[in-house]
Amino acid sequence: MTSLPAPAAKKLGLVIDLDTCVGCHACAVACKEWNDGGSFGPLTDENPYAAEPLGVWFNRVHSYEVTRTPTPCGGDAPAAATAATMSVHFPRSCLHCETPACVSVCPTGASYKRAGDGIVLVDEDKCIGCQLCSWACPYGAREFSARHGTMQKCTLCVDRIYNETLDEADRQPACVLACPTRARHFGDLGDEHSAVSKLVAERGGYALMPELGYRPVNRYLPPRPRRDTAAQPDAPKPEPLDRAQLSPLLRWVDRVLSR
């Protein structure tokens, strides 16, 4: 069993905005690309051009149709039948929990939580591939590489974020830099003044399944209230046009326009 370090002030993590995620998989592939050739790669691909291509991904995007409170629609056909659901795209990766069971169950110390910044990593040299950690993680964040016989997972791009050979602006996780809708944010969630902490406070960011007690660091921002039918302006009272009596065109006859 592996022990956890003393809680640190710094809690690096991601804030993922479910309001703007369009499910494009940019984050997932950018992650795959960076890490495949990086310090924690390769992320093996099994049968890349054959039946059932499978491989290791540190970040995956899932799409759901979820039921929401029905909106009174009063109409017929498509609108009424479809209004009660919403589509959510949900990127999933390691949440870098404060009390990660995946670490505490590890028999060799391969899984560990960094004392300084809270990033959860796997030391492949120590990993025996027992997969206890993937049983322990309720979030499905760990991936087993059958070829290497070891466990792999999101590193929060630890080999980017501290990498002084990169421009400072590039020292962010690959998924964050790639995201076209800017739905992903990286920072110190232990610092209440950080941009990500403020974002979480403003938008009501939440942790996934906090009741399990693993205290995830990553936060998800919920979809903002949708401005659909509720946002409608009051119906104006248009002048009734009795076309039998009066051509509707006549009201424009006296309009003085300026070119």
Partner 1 sequence: MPHAELKLDTPTGDVVKTTTCYMCACRCGIRVHLKDGRVRYIDGNPQHPVNRGVICAKGSAGIKQHYSPARLSKPLLRVGERGAGEFREIEWDEALELAAQWLGAIRARNPDELAFFTGRDQSQALTGWWAQQFGTVNYAAHGGFCSVNMAAAGLYTLGGSFWEFGEPDWERTKYLMLWGVAEDHDSNPIKTGLGKLKERGAKIVAVNPVRSGYGAIADEWVPINPGTDGLLAGALIHELLRTDRIDLDFLVRYTNAHHLVIHEPGAADDGLVARDALGHALCAARPGARHPAASRSGNVDYVVVRADEPDIAPLVVGEYLVGNARRAVPAFQLLAERYLDDGFSPDAVAPRCGVPAETIRRLARELATTAFDEAITLEQPWTDAWGREHATMTGRPVAMHAMRGISAHVNGFHTCRALHVLQMLLGAIDTPGSFRYQPPFPKPAPPANRPGRTRKDNGALDAAPLGFVHTPADLLVDAEGRPRRIDKAYSWEYPLAAHGLMHAVIRNAWAGDPYRIDTLLMFMANMGWNSAMNTTETRRMLCDRDPATGEYRIPHIIYADAYASETVAFADLVLPDTTYLERHDAISLLDRPISDADAASDAIRQPVVAPDRDVRPFQDVLLDLGARLNLPGMVDDAGQPKYPRGFAQYMVEHERAPGVGLLAGWRGADGTREGRGEPNPRQLEHYIAHGCHWHAPVPAAGRYYKMANRAYLDWAHGLGFIGAAEPVVLQLYCETLQRFRLAALGHGERQPPARERERVARHFDPLPQWYAALEGNEADAAYPLAAITQRPMFMYHAWGSQNAWLRQIAARNVLYLHPDTARAHGVADGDWIWLASPRARIRVQARHHAATAPGTLWTWNAIGKSKGAWKLAADAPESRDGFLLNHLIGDELDDGSYANADPVTGQAAWFDLRVRIECDAEPLLPGTRTLMIEGTCT
Binding segment (CB under 8 A) for partner 1, from list 92-100, 145-153, 208-216, 221-229: 221-229
The pairing of strands 120-122 and 143-145 is unpaired
Q: Which is nearer to partner 1, 33 or 138 (CB)?
A: 33
- Restricting to residues 149-188, name those near partner 1 by CB under 8 A: 158-159, 162-166, 169-170, 174, 177-183
27 in Cβ contact with 184 (< 8 Å): yes
In this structure, the number of other CB atoms found within 10 A of the CB of residue 30 comes to 19
- Looking at 12, 28, 94, 103, which residue binds partner 1 (CB under 8 A)? 28
Q: Which is nearer to partner 1, 74 or 211 (CB)?
A: 74
- Restricting to residues 91-120, name those near partner 1 by CB under 8 A: 112
Q: Is 259 in the site for partner 1 (CB under 8 A)?
A: yes
Q: Is 201 in the site for partner 1 (CB under 8 A)?
A: no
Q: Is 86 in the site for partner 1 (CB under 8 A)?
A: yes
CA distance 231 to 25: 31
| Separation of first and last alpha carbons in the chain | 81
Binding segment (CB under 8 A) for partner 1, from list 97-105, 132-140, 208-216, 226-234: 226-234
Q: Is 23 in the site for partner 1 (CB under 8 A)?
A: yes
- Of residues 62, 70, 97, the one with CA closest to residue 86: 70
The per-residue b/e assignment along 135-149, b for 16 or more CB within 10 angstroms, e otherwise, is ebbbbebbbbbeeee
